[in-house]
Amino acid sequence: MEGKSLKFLRGLIDAISPSGCEEEAAKLWKDYVANFADKVEGDVHGNSIGIINPKGKPRVMLAGHIDEIGYMIKYIDKDGFLYFSTIGGIDTHIMPGERIWIKGKHGTVAGIIGRDPIHQLTKEAREKVEKIEDLFIDIGVKEKKEAEKLVSVGDPAVPAVSFEELKGDRVVGRAFDDKSGAFVVAETLRLLSKSNLEAAVYGVATVQEEVGLRGAKTSAFRVSPDIGIATDVTFTSDYPALKSETKRTKFGDIKIGKGPVIARGPNINPKVFDMLVETAKKEKIPYQVEAISKATGTDANVIQLTKEGVATGLVSIPNRYMHTPVELVSTEDFVNVSKLLAAFIRRLEKKTNFIPF
Ligand SMILES: [Zn+2]
């Protein structure tokens, strides 16, 4: 991956942007996309839209959600301990012992989720999972008043981890779900910026996916696309806990570093699927296929149902350990997803028809 792209990716991942508080990441995204899009817009919901060839036909919407899962402060007790709920789905198993960054009114406040010492835990307590309402964040203050100078009820928070490079093309951090997708949408716009296109391209960094696909719903209404492709992350079955054949028979065989994952199922227009596969073959881009037999849990779900219906596709990035602070992905997969989406859009003609039969 090129230096500028990697720097942008690092910035996006490190920006604190749980659903409903995406402004820090959205600003970075808009500034980056403004370098090559014909137009960059924002809407009242917080979605950011980079546009290339706005008058073209067909109209294509690319969607990658820029929000991340996180925490929200619910209550501050008299001793200044903070109680919280989750924004999106987080496994309570991984919370005790986490370091936390809270986005307070005067800047980031560091804290930790405390846990009783193992010596003091009964056998039953060691085996049980804590309830979230019993967990608390300690920011090192002595009392409520002191805490309230820094933190307010409703402030968002995230695990205090940053983007880190591992071996080869592997990188780790929080929020690759789905700033990977928002990144890939921006990179696809960059790749297309000098192309001669028939299609109009609306690349959207959508908000609030993790709390119900909400930004894709409002932005798809505004863009009114003929074709909509969501880019998100997807599960892999290539690490010990899921390596057994039994797990693969349930979740499929998806590996990190093996290229874009093209989804197939009722949420996907069959012609869009076929064209994505043909494009990957023609361009010699490695790809994998995943079967999703119901509405996907991605922006593709609501995009398909916009107005009288949209020809929808879903191209995903394999992500190990999704919804943990150690989401692990391959930057080579990012490069290949952007290449595939750009090549797909270059092939679109005014007359391309996606009515399935
Ligand atoms: Zn997610």
* 209: annotated active-site residue: yes
- Per-residue pLDDT tens over the stretch 98-107: 999 999 999 9
pLDDT of residue 159: 98
Are 183 and 345 within 8 A, CB to CB?
A: no
156 Cα: distance to centroid of ligand 1 (angstroms): 17
17 Cα: distance to centroid of ligand 1 (angstroms): 13
What span, in angstroms and rounded, lies between the C-alpha atoms of 334 and 318?
9
Which ranges in 44-143 belong to alpha helices (H)?
123-127
Residue 311, CB-side half-sphere exposure with 13 Å CA sphere: 19
Are 198 and 349 within 8 A, CB to CB?
A: yes
pLDDT of residue 2: 83
List of domains in the chain: 3-68+174-346 (3.40.630.10), 70-159 (2.40.30.40)
What span, in angstroms and rounded, lies between the C-alpha atoms of 176 and 329?
8
Q: Which protein residues have a CB closer than 5 Å to ligand 1 (ion)?
A: 177
Please give the annotated binding residues, written as ranges.
65, 177, 210, 232, 323
Task: Say how many Å lie between the first and final Cα of the chain, rounded.
Answer: 40
3-state DSSP: the chain helix, strand, coil percent, rounded to 5?
35, 25, 40
Q: Give the residue carrying structure tokens 């959205």.
A: 26
What span, in angstroms and rounded, lies between the C-alpha atoms of 23 and 46?
7
What span, in angstroms and rounded, lies between the C-alpha atoms of 101 and 137?
10
pLDDT of residue 244: 64
177 Cα: distance to centroid of ligand 1 (angstroms): 5
196 Cα: distance to centroid of ligand 1 (angstroms): 34
What span, in angstroms and rounded, lies between the C-alpha atoms of 28 and 216?
19
Out of 22, 68, 98, 209, which one is annotated catalytic? 209
Cβ burial, residue 4 (10 Å; 0-12/13-18/19+)? exposed
pLDDT of residue 160: 98
**Residue 185 token pair:** 């949408």
What span, in angstroms and rounded, lies between the C-alpha atoms of 237 and 255?
6
- State the DSSP H helix or E strand holding residue 29, giving kind and residue range, or none if neither: helix 23-33
Please give the annotated binding residues for Zn(2+), written as ranges.
65, 177, 210, 232, 323
178 Cα: distance to centroid of ligand 1 (angstroms): 7
262 Cα: distance to centroid of ligand 1 (angstroms): 17
| Weakly modelled stretches of the chain, pLDDT under 70 | 242-244
56 Cα: distance to centroid of ligand 1 (angstroms): 32
CA distances to 31, 134, 226, 272 from 186, in Å: 10, 41, 20, 21
